[in-house]
Structure 1
Amino acid sequence: MKVWSLLTLNGLLGVPGAIAIGLWVLAFPMIWVDTQFTIIGDPLPFWLAISEETARSLLSTIATAAITTLGMVYSIMLVVFTLAAGNIAPRLLQRFSRDRVNQITAGLLGGTFLYALTVLRASGPDLRPEFSITLAFLLAAASVMQVIHFVHSVSRSVTIDAEVAKISEQLEDQINALLVKTGEGANELDEAGLGTRLLAQRSGYVTMLDEDALIRIAQKQDTSIAVRVAPGDFVLAGQTLAVAGFDEDSEDAAAAVHSAIVLQSYRGAVNDIRFSVSILLEIALRALSPGVNDSFTAVACADRIAAALVKPVSKGLRGDVRCDDNGVARLKVPGLSLEDLLNMALHPLRQASRSNILMLDHIGVVLNSLYAIAGSDAKELIVAHGKALIETARAGNPINSDLEFLRQRLDFEVEDRP
């Protein structure tokens, strides 16, 4: 169920389809209400009074407009997808398909069409469903407001700075899940008794590790589980996903572990930190390329990466071991160290900026900001990145004044060797 809810329902199929079917099903109880409380011929308030001919015409108009607008909405989304793939980054298409505004707009328009069509079919000389028609009118009004909101949202979707900020917020949430938590117990997990190997049933990318579910499985079996793969890894069929302490005959437990380690044919960003960092780097590196030459977009990416690194730099990251509520070590997952995170995020930016003194200067600003809030261990890593920054700048053959300016830009001392 976790796989379906997070991967399938987050596209342009699950949520829009569920909304459309829900509104369609709503037509049947509304028609039943109209059959039980017929008010044809009675004096009606102005907001319910309507003739049979006008009712059918109104429902036909609503249904036609809804399905026409739905086609327009999908056309606009395809245009936005094309622009984003060409101008920002192709992997942003997954983000656009998971956008709730796009999903709700498509579902509301599709549901309004099916609802109006169903009520129209039930209308006739013997039944003029005033209550159902009133709800159809309200759905049409809601659809208009949602389309306006959709246009506003789409106009922001092709704005690079707005998309960079959204990706950064998602990355920040993913990284914050790895922060050191107060009261965490064990730092080690004894793998001596973990003899059952759980093998991948097919090849694919690890898009999610449901740590809570894995801890519950281990607690129920009174054992521990050591996961061998991390989100973003490509796993081959037959490769070891995890080792556990329960018996090989525990088919239910094994199936539950397989369900908690989600494999997909393509990479996703459910809790894949490396994937989210890669998207920001892809936008920045594309902006720094000679064909685009948009340094300020790369500056924005560097700022947002720094924002996502604030808490890891100041508080540190969790270890590899996860405990249950009683403090018993139940799960071991491949960890992501602060050094790995900084290297992953900063090295590509620095390497691509060798001849761009503006970008090198801003990376120095980012390092200063992180150094100001960093703990002792993180400061040593940041100093190492500062040293690499100076060496990279020198490799680009800048004039002496530029190199000296960059050296003075750093708020900390670095070992500067020609």
Structure 2
Amino acid sequence: MKIWSLVTLNGLLGVPGAIAVFIWLLAIPLVWLDTSFNIVGDPLPFWLAISTDTARSLLSTIATAAITTLSMVYSIMLVVFTLAAGNIAPRLLQRFSRDRVNQVTAGILGGTFLYSLSVLRATGPDLRPEMSIAVAFILAAVSVLQVINFVYSVSRSVTIDAEVAKISEQLEHQVNVLLAETGTGQDSFDEDALVTTIRASESGYVTMLDEAALLRLARHHDTSIAVRVAPGDFVLAGQELAVAGFDQDDKDAAATVVSSISLQPYRGAVDDIRFSIRILLEIALRALSPGVNDSFTAVTCADRIAAALVKPVSEGLRGDVRCDENGVARLKVPGLSLEDLFNMTLHPLRQAARGNILMLDHLGKVLNSLHAIAGPEAKRLIKAHGKALLETARAGDPIGSDLGFLRQRLDFGIED
């Protein structure tokens, strides 16, 4: 059920299917109106006047063109998926399948095809549904405009910089949500009092935590819940998901906790901050590999990662405890500390940049920019990463002037 829900809501099935069915169902009331107010033989405006044979030919042409174009759209998407998987990153395929332009285009074309067939079936010597035919003509025009928009969107989808920018925007939004949701109450949360253990019934990746449902459950039972897993973690069947303070025999409460922690056979949750970071890192590491050797793409990824770190560096990250509306600590979820964010993003880039003085120099610029806006804790972490950057540069056996230039690049003091 969870897999089906994910596919239908986010993939190339749910949204296009819903749009197509909605357009298809429009044929029922419109044909009914044309049947109830049959104006065959009456003088019509020029934009409605049409013979029965012409109407059938027009509807046949629209239906044929719509289904043909729909096939072309899916073929183009398949080509784009293949190019993206080979040249950018395979995990971008999940992003492309959720792209609204792709979904809406497929839905409009499929709906236009079904609508035209339905109106064509109702058209005959005794009924010429002028209003329904006019709507079919409008749908054909909308389909043409949407296909133009689709071609424009696809042309941008294979541009690495554009995709990196989109992923970065999503990552910044996720980081801002993380800042808004983390709260106080760390000291008042008594985790030792939680005695009921909830375990996973199946294996899979954690793709979503429904914190609102968990908070409501904890408030309803006047207790607390501590979640042991985070989005992106792989959980084995029987592994501990959470501990709670309600009674061990309360099966309904335990089932609510399990349903609030969504497990899927693959990664890719929209709200998973770790997944967005890994996509940017995958693009950057692929660009730094000897087979691709595209340092400037890696530079762009480093810039975008730095942009996502601005608020955590300047404002800091607070605790992992969530409080209810009365300020009572009810829920504890594994979060990302500032050190976790730095280690997750900067360590892989620095390690892959060994021997690449261009990338190492740019990482120095990134650290300088972050240090200029950082708080005390963040400055300590940035200095540690600056020291590691110099050690990585030395390991690449650079000439002395390059190493000296990199040391001067770091405006904050680094002790050798």
So what's the TM-score if we normalise by structure 1?
Answer: 0.96
1:108 aligns to what? 108
Q: Distance in 2 between matches of 1:309 and 1:147?
A: 37
2:142 aligns to what? 142
Question: More displaced, 193-202 or 148-157?
Answer: 193-202
- Is 1:279 equivalent to 2:279 in the alignment? yes
Q: Distance in 2 between matches of 1:182 and 1:369?
A: 25
Q: Distance in 2 between matches of 1:53 and 1:238?
A: 67
Aligned AA (2:165): A
Q: Distance in 2 between matches of 1:182 and 1:329?
A: 12
Question: Aligned-residue CA RMSD in angstroms?
Answer: 1.6
C-alpha displacement of 1:382: 0.3
C-alpha displacement of 1:196: 1.9
Contact 1:206 1:262 (8 Å CA) reproduced: yes
Label 1:6 to 1:376 Cα distance change in 2 as closer, same or farther (>3 A): farther
C-alpha displacement of 1:249: 3.5
Contact 1:210 1:260 (8 Å CA) reproduced: yes
SS of aligned partner of 1:177: helix
Question: More displaced, 152-161 or 8-17?
Answer: 8-17
1:211 aligns to what? 211
1:211-230 maps to which residues of 2 (within 5 A)?
Answer: 211-230=211-230
Q: Distance in 1 between matches of 2:221 and 2:96?
A: 40
Label 1:47 to 1:248 Cα distance change in 2 as closer, same or farther (>3 A): farther
C-alpha displacement of 1:180: 5.7
1:16-55 maps to which residues of 2 (within 5 A)?
Answer: 16-55=16-55
C-alpha displacement of 1:113: 0.5
Q: Distance in 2 between matches of 1:311 and 1:114?
A: 49
C-alpha displacement of 1:184: 4.0
The C-alpha deviation readout for 1:314-339, integer Å capped at 9, x for no partner, is 11113110001110111001121100
C-alpha displacement of 1:254: 2.3
Contact 2:182 2:319 (8 Å CA) reproduced: no
- Is 1:236 equivalent to 2:232 in the alignment? no
1:388 aligns to what? 388
Q: Distance in 2 between matches of 1:181 and 1:310?
A: 17
Aligned AA (1:27): A
1:406-417 maps to which residues of 2 (within 5 A)?
Answer: 406-416=406-416
Q: Distance in 1 between matches of 2:184 and 2:57?
A: 66
1:337 aligns to what? 337
The C-alpha deviation readout for 1:14-45, integer Å capped at 9, x for no partner, is 11111111111111111111111111111111
Contact 1:52 1:124 (8 Å CA) reproduced: yes
Aligned AA (1:85): A
The C-alpha deviation readout for 1:95-152, integer Å capped at 9, x for no partner, is 0001000000011100110011111111111111111111111111111000000000
C-alpha displacement of 1:270: 2.2
Contact 1:188 1:321 (8 Å CA) reproduced: no
C-alpha displacement of 1:250: 2.9
C-alpha displacement of 1:408: 0.6
The C-alpha deviation readout for 1:283-338, integer Å capped at 9, x for no partner, is 11111111111000000000000011011111111311000111011100112110
Q: Distance in 2 between matches of 1:412 and 1:237?
A: 48
The C-alpha deviation readout for 1:266-285, integer Å capped at 9, x for no partner, is 01132222211111111111
1:354 aligns to what? 354
1:4-403 maps to which residues of 2 (within 5 A)?
Answer: 8-179=8-179, 184-403=184-403
C-alpha displacement of 1:410: 0.9
Contact 2:295 2:359 (8 Å CA) reproduced: yes
Aligned AA (1:109): L
**What percentage of aligned pairs have identical amino acids?**
80
Q: Distance in 1 between matches of 2:217 and 2:4?
A: 20
Contact 1:186 1:323 (8 Å CA) reproduced: no
SS of aligned partner of 2:237: coil
Q: Distance in 1 between matches of 2:367 and 2:188?
A: 33
Contact 2:7 2:13 (8 Å CA) reproduced: no
C-alpha displacement of 1:6: 5.5
Q: Distance in 2 between matches of 1:252 and 1:26?
A: 42
Q: Distance in 2 between matches of 1:361 and 1:173?
A: 28
Q: Distance in 2 between matches of 1:225 and 1:335?
A: 15
Aligned AA (1:196): T
Q: Distance in 1 between matches of 2:124 and 2:221?
A: 62
Label 1:115 to 1:239 Cα distance change in 2 as closer, same or farther (>3 A): same
C-alpha displacement of 1:411: 1.3
The C-alpha deviation readout for 1:148-174, integer Å capped at 9, x for no partner, is 000000000000000011111111111
Q: Distance in 2 between matches of 1:183 and 1:260?
A: 20
Contact 2:184 2:319 (8 Å CA) reproduced: no
Aligned AA (1:248): Q
Q: Distance in 2 between matches of 1:316 and 1:115?
A: 54
Unaligned runs of 5+ in 1: none
C-alpha displacement of 1:244: 1.5
Aligned AA (1:397): D
Label 1:2 to 1:172 Cα distance change in 2 as closer, same or farther (>3 A): farther
Q: Distance in 2 between matches of 1:187 and 1:82?
A: 51
SS of aligned partner of 1:90: coil
Q: Distance in 1 between matches of 2:414 and 2:286?
A: 30
C-alpha displacement of 1:191: 2.1
Q: Distance in 2 between matches of 1:249 and 1:183?
A: 31
Question: More displaced, 37-46 or 11-20?
Answer: 37-46
C-alpha displacement of 1:252: 2.9
C-alpha displacement of 1:260: 1.4
Q: Distance in 1 between matches of 2:253 and 2:25?
A: 38
Q: Distance in 1 between matches of 2:62 and 2:176?
A: 46
C-alpha displacement of 1:368: 0.6
Aligned AA (1:299): V
Q: Distance in 1 between matches of 2:180 and 2:116?
A: 53
